[in-house]
Amino acid sequence: MNNKWNWKSVTTMSMVLLLAMTACSNGGNKAAPSASTGTDEGSAGGTTTFSYMMAGKYTNWLQDLNWYPVLEEKTNTKVELVNGGEDDDAYKKNLELKIGSGQFPDSGIVSLAQSEVYGGQGLFIDLKPYIDKFAPNIKAYLDANPDYAKLMTTKDGEIFGLAQEYPTISNVTFYRADMFEKAGITANPTTVQEFTDVLKKLKETYKDTANFYPFTGRDGYLKFQEAFAANDKIVDGKVHGIYENGKGSDIYSPGFKSLIEWYAQLYQDKLIDPEWVAGTATEESWQTKMLTGQGAISSDFFTRPSWFMNNGGPENDPKYSIKVMEPFKDASGNQTMLPPTEEKYRMDRVFVINEKAEDKAEGIIKFMDYMFSDEGRTLMDYGVEGKSYKEEGGKKAFTVKFEEQGNKPIGTPVWNFLQDRLTFPVPVNNEAYYQWMDDLTKSFATTFFDKYTSKEFSSLKYSTDQLKERTTLLANVKQALNAALVKFISGQRSLTEWDAFLGEMEQAGYNKLTDIDQAAYDAMSK
How is 333-351 classified by DSSP, letter by letter? SPBP-BPPSS-SEEEEEEE
Q: What is the pLDDT of residues 414-428, one digit of tens each?
A: 999 999 999 999 999
CA 422 to chain CA centroid, Å, is 11
- By the 10 Å C-beta count (0-12 exposed, 13-18 middle, 19+ buried), 211 is classed as exposed
Query: Where does the pLDDT of residue 394 fall: very low under 50, low under 70, confident under 90, or very high at 90 and above?
Result: very high
Do 159 and 180 belong to one domain?
no
List the one residue out of 215, 222, 255, 173 whose CA is nearest residue 489: 222
Q: What is the pLDDT of residues 464-478, one digit of tens each?
A: 788 889 989 999 999
Question: Do 425 and 347 form a contact (C-beta atoms < 8 A)?
Answer: no
pLDDT of res. 247: 94
Domain assignment of residue 109, yes or no: yes
CA angle 462, 464, 468 (to 5 degrees): 95
DSSP string spanning 391-454? EETTEEEESS-HHHHTTPPTTS-B----TTS-SS-----HHHHHHHS-HHHHHHHHHHHHHHB-
Do 479 and 524 belong to one domain?
yes
Report the distance separating Cα 60 and Cα 313, nearest Å: 30
Report the distance separating Cα 73 and Cα 67, nearest Å: 10
List the one residue out of 368, 464, 364, 372 whose CA is nearest residue 105: 364
List the one residue out of 156, 152, 167, 144 whose CA is nearest residue 29: 156
Q: What is the pLDDT of residues 98-137, one digit of tens each?
A: 998 999 999 999 999 999 999 999 999 999 999 999 999 9
Domain assignment of residue 304, yes or no: yes
- Give the containing element (helix H, strand E) for 49: strand 48-54
Report the DSSP beta bridge partners of residue 294.
none
Please give the tally of structural domains in the chain. 3
Residue 431 pLDDT > 90 = yes
Residue 12 pLDDT > 80 = no
Find the mean pLDDT for residues 289-304: 97
Do 514 and 369 belong to one domain?
no
CB atoms within 10 A of CB 478: 17
Domain assignment of residue 183, yes or no: yes
Count helices and strands (H / E) in the chain: 23, 12
Residue 44 pLDDT > 70 = no
Do 473 and 515 belong to one domain?
yes
Strand duo 48-54 + 107-110: pairing: parallel
Do 186 and 303 belong to one domain?
yes
Do 136 and 158 belong to one domain?
yes
CA 79 to chain CA centroid, Å, is 26
Find the mean pLDDT for residues 39-59: 79
Using CA atoms, how far residue 74 sits from 26, 141, 351, 383, in Å, is 36, 21, 21, 13
Do 204 and 228 belong to one domain?
no
Question: Do 253 and 229 form a contact (C-beta atoms < 8 A)?
Answer: yes
Do 153 and 26 belong to one domain?
yes
Do 389 and 308 belong to one domain?
no
Query: Where does the pLDDT of residue 524 fall: very low under 50, low under 70, confident under 90, or very high at 90 and above?
Result: confident
Domain assignment of residue 6, yes or no: no
Do 93 and 187 belong to one domain?
no
Sign of CA dihedral 40, 46, 52, 56: negative
Report the DSSP beta bridge partners of residue 354.
124
Question: Do 128 and 362 form a contact (C-beta atoms < 8 A)?
Answer: no
Flag the least confident range among 32-41, 173-182, 374-383.
32-41
Report the distance separating Cα 124 and Cα 99, nearest Å: 10
DSSP at 35: P
Do 56 and 131 belong to one domain?
yes
Computed on alpha carbons and rounded to an integer, the radius of gyration of the chain in Å comes to: 25
Using CA atoms, how far residue 371 sits from 135, 138, 152, 361, in Å, is 10, 9, 18, 16
List the one residue out of 251, 144, 176 whose CA is nearest residue 485: 251
* Strand, coil or helix: 346: strand
Q: What is the pLDDT of residues 81-93, one digit of tens each?
A: 999 999 999 999 9
Find the mean pLDDT for residues 230-253: 96
Domain assignment of residue 8, yes or no: no
Residue 369 pLDDT > 90 = yes
- Percent of the chain topping pLDDT 90: 85
Which residue among 439, 454, 476 closes a domain? 439
Report the DSSP beta bridge partners of residue 147.
none
Query: Where does the pLDDT of residue 526 fall: very low under 50, low under 70, confident under 90, or very high at 90 and above?
Result: confident
Structure pTM? 0.88
DSSP at 252: T
Domain assignment of residue 4, yes or no: no
Domain region containing 418: 14-166+345-439
Domain assignment of residue 448, yes or no: no
Domain assignment of residue 455, yes or no: no
Residue 151 pLDDT > 50 = yes
Helix axes 464-490, 498-508, angle to 10 degrees: 150
Do 187 and 251 belong to one domain?
no
* Strand, coil or helix: 462: coil
Number of residues that this document lists for the chain: 526
Question: CATH number of the domain that 19 lies in?
Answer: 3.40.190.10
* Strand, coil or helix: 103: coil
pLDDT of res. 41: 43
CB atoms within 10 A of CB 59: 20
Find the mean pLDDT for residues 246-265: 97
